[in-house]
Amino acid sequence: MSAATLVPDDDETVTGISIRSLYKIFGPDAAQHVEAVKAGMTKAELNRRHAHTLGLRDITTDLPAGRISVIMGLSGSGKSTLLRHVNGLIQPTAGEVLIDGEDVAAMSEAQLREFRRRKTAMVFQKFGLLPHRTVMENAVYGLDIQGIDRNDSRERARHWIERVGLKGYEDRYPSQLSGGMQQRVGLARALTMDAPILLMDEAFSALDPLIRMDMQTVLLDIQKEVSKTIVFITHDLDEALRLGDKIVILRAGEISQQGSGEEIVQAPANDYVRAFVKEVNRGRVLRLRSILRPKPSSLDWPQLELPGALTLEESALRLLSSPESAVTVLGRRGQPRGVVNMDDIMKAMLIQPAQPA
């Protein structure tokens, strides 16, 4: 098996959000220029000839239900524009955004309002808190809009305020909180709405590095409990690799590469992606399932068993402290799927993928 070959996961992935052939052109006559863009007109040509701006070109991707999908790229890549199509804040020039079989782009204003109230919640980069409301009042704001009884909404909010680590701060105002605490309020507010889709636009990028790491941990811990369909926007690859079950890398409004963090690190599709991943600590990203090989028929399964989702770094530590020379790699349901030894792990951690000729 080559280093860039991934063993297919052994569970079934269900699509949560399906985006099909999505184009966004900004300008008064956007629809008139779609065909030219489809035929290959560049962003620079569109701007020079018609004074219109190309935001997104032919975006097609499936974001899995109950997982975290990260859309990343540099400033101006179109990542926030794409996110705003998911809840209809921006209408596409062409294409579809399908959720539960419904095209968000085809919804009426009334349908969109109901969709945003019931199916999506958003966490903003700048916190988006109402300064005249307390932590509790901010947390129940979305439920107030839905007309939920305050006794019920406060009970739900209290659970999430405590879950994000703000118990005892319910009566404080945003001005009395640090930036990290304010972002926790924003997360608690989104979770209190209990929407199946959570949209997070550069939610942690304004935070200091240690607080940012802490918020990532909070999000991952909560996601284990609630299994929301989360779309997370970032420009930071380390954050994307830590959070994302699927990563979509954008460049100038187009998908440069998409897949799991392992796929992207092991087989970057082009120089743009390769520049992102060249300094990545592969041991913290790659997992046992990505390097396993079939067990030789002449040998027994190694007694040391480790889940395929374990990182190579963690696996190496476990193997070093074991008398075993190899490990049995287990699938999600606990069945043996292959074997890995220390030599396999060290090669995968240290050897970078060859660049295409």
pLDDT digits (tens, 9 = 90+) for 142-193: 888 888 888 889 999 999 999 999 999 999 999 999 988 998 999 999 999 9
Q: How far apart are CA 192 and CA 155, in angstroms?
A: 9
Helix (H, G, I), strand (E, B) or coil at 198: strand
**Ranges of the chain with pLDDT below 50:** 1-11, 357
Give Cα separations from 355 to 60, 228, 273, 280, 352 (angstroms). Answer: 26, 37, 12, 16, 9
Q: What pLDDT sits at residue 200?
A: 94
> Which range of residues forms the domain containing residue 117?
15-281
Q: What pLDDT sits at residue 124?
A: 81
Q: What pLDDT sits at residue 14?
A: 75
* 297 and 163, same domain (yes or no): no
* 204 and 290, same domain (yes or no): no
Q: Residue 2: inside a domain, yes or no?
A: no
Q: How far apart are CA 212 and CA 214, in angstroms?
A: 5
Give the CATH number for residue 179.
3.40.50.300
* 192 and 82, same domain (yes or no): yes
* 173 and 311, same domain (yes or no): no
* 268 and 293, same domain (yes or no): no
Q: What pLDDT sits at residue 8?
A: 41
Pairing verdict, β 94-99 and 68-72: unpaired
* 120 and 229, same domain (yes or no): yes
Q: Residue 142: inside a domain, yes or no?
A: yes
Cβ density class 172-199: b for 16+ within 10 Å, e for less? ebbeebeebbbbbbbbbbbbbbebbbbb
* 272 and 318, same domain (yes or no): no
Q: What pLDDT sits at residue 138?
A: 93
How many Cα atoms are found within 13 Å in the side-chain-facing hemisphere of 88? Answer: 20
Q: What pLDDT sits at residue 125?
A: 74
> Across 191-286, where does the E strand assignment appear?
197-201, 229-234, 246-251, 254-259
Q: What pLDDT sits at residue 192?
A: 93
* 315 and 251, same domain (yes or no): no
Q: What pLDDT sits at residue 357?
A: 45
Q: Residue 4: inside a domain, yes or no?
A: no
Q: Residue 254: inside a domain, yes or no?
A: yes
* 193 and 48, same domain (yes or no): yes
Q: What is the number of domains present in the chain?
A: 2
pLDDT tens-digit readout, 233-259 = 999 999 999 999 999 999 999 999 999
